[in-house]
Amino acid sequence: MIIRSKAPFRVSFGGGGTDMPPYCTEHGGCVISTTIDRYICVSIEPRDDDKVQVLSINDNKEILFDVGDKDYTEDFELFKGVINVLNINDGFNITTYSDLPAGSGMGGSSSLCVALIGAFNEFYNLKLNKHDIASKACNIERVELKQKGGYQDQFAAAYGGFNFIEFSNGIKVSPIKTTEEMINELQYSLILCYVGGSHFSSNIQDEVLKGYKFEKKSFMEAMQDLKDVAYSMRKIIESKDISQLNKFGEFLHKGWLAKKSLSSKISNKNIENFYLTSRKYGVLGGKLLGAGGGGHLLLFSKPNKKFEVIKELEKIGGKIVNFHFNPKGLEVWKLKE
């Protein structure tokens, strides 16, 4: 039997960073996000020994390790973490493929983790629901592998769609209720631009968490701004009033300014060049997706200026990624030989 699964990448609009512990457990956090039609795909097939062979199609890398291996210092540690936390004792061949490059800022590692858990959930009939799968993914990344970061990516990938996610001692996922017209107009106004580079999110998050550790006033104010932006965005989308949508772009800008104030590593000259150029030609607001340092800019343009903005971004080396919102989260299916 072969099991295949796919989990989508997410685009976070507001609140990113407030989902990180210990801030979210002590002060509460929230994020508004959606998933898009770009995926990480996984295939698993049982072997007749206790070895795990992983093939990553994108970077043409392959590794073979024993079931139960807890050496998390090399590449492919995520696969080891999933197998150990799920207490898997059988050997497998695992193949993975990603529609977007590593370090894209759209939660790729968490999408991979969710897709892996989903495939094993189907193979062993573990009866985990989407919330269980997302929680397991958080446990694997944050506890087992001790990787720094928040909790939004795992829940976005598992659930899919347009959601408002709240973080405190528990995690609550609330689907955004609005009209197709509102979602279509938002989609039409957005530009996703790859600006190069990639980010090392744990390094940036280390610096951000220092601000929390020393309870800097500026840090706490910025985090409150990020939460306020997320709530304001939710209100606009759920108002179903398309005439309010330009305010969504303005809140993107406000959130980006708040996020940049958390660490000098979040932006750089290259990112600022792309952002300021886009603002000059009709973009109302935007943000870098992910922790910072590189990857993709998400921009909200005046609709009548969108294609002029795209031309100008391409002139300075930006790569436009065409995408659509995707209402589905994790999907799993099986093939019988």
- CA distances to 113, 146, 196, 320 from 142, rounded to whole Å, are 12, 5, 27, 32
- CA distances to 34, 113, 240, 267 from 202, rounded to whole Å, are 23, 17, 37, 15
* 207-222 CB burial, b ≥16 within 10 A, e <16: ebbebbeeeeeebeeb
Amino acid 31: pLDDT: 98
- CA distances to 122, 243, 278, 307 from 282, rounded to whole Å, are 47, 17, 6, 10
Distance CA 192, CA 124 (A): 38
How do strand 2-14 and strand 331-335 relate by DSSP bridges?
Answer: antiparallel
Amino acid 337: pLDDT: 65
Q: Which residues are CB-neighbours of 191 under 8 A, at least 6 positions away?
A: 278, 283, 297, 298, 299, 300, 301, 306, 309, 310, 313, 320
Amino acid 149: pLDDT: 87
Amino acid 308: pLDDT: 97
Distance CA 260, CA 287 (A): 9
Distance CA 221, CA 239 (A): 27
**For 152, phi and psi rounded to 5 degrees?**
-75, -40
Amino acid 286: pLDDT: 97
- CA distances to 15, 18, 162, 220, 314 from 29, rounded to whole Å, are 7, 5, 17, 12, 36
Q: pLDDT (tens digit, 9 = 90+) per residue, 5-63?
A: 999 999 999 999 999 988 899 999 999 999 999 999 999 999 999 999 999 999 899 99
Amino acid 263: pLDDT: 82
For the annotated catalytic residues, the residue numbers are 153
Distance CA 223, CA 108 (A): 24
Report whether the peptide linkage leading into residue 101 is cis, meaning its omega lies within 30 degrees of zero: no
Q: Are 313 and 191 in contact (CB under 8 A)?
A: yes
Distance CA 278, CA 313 (A): 7
Cα maximum dimension of the chain: 61
- Domains within the chain, CATH numbers bracketed: 2-177 (3.30.230.10), 180-320 (3.30.70.890)
Amino acid 56: pLDDT: 95
Low-confidence stretches of the chain (pLDDT < 50) are none
Residue type, 229: V
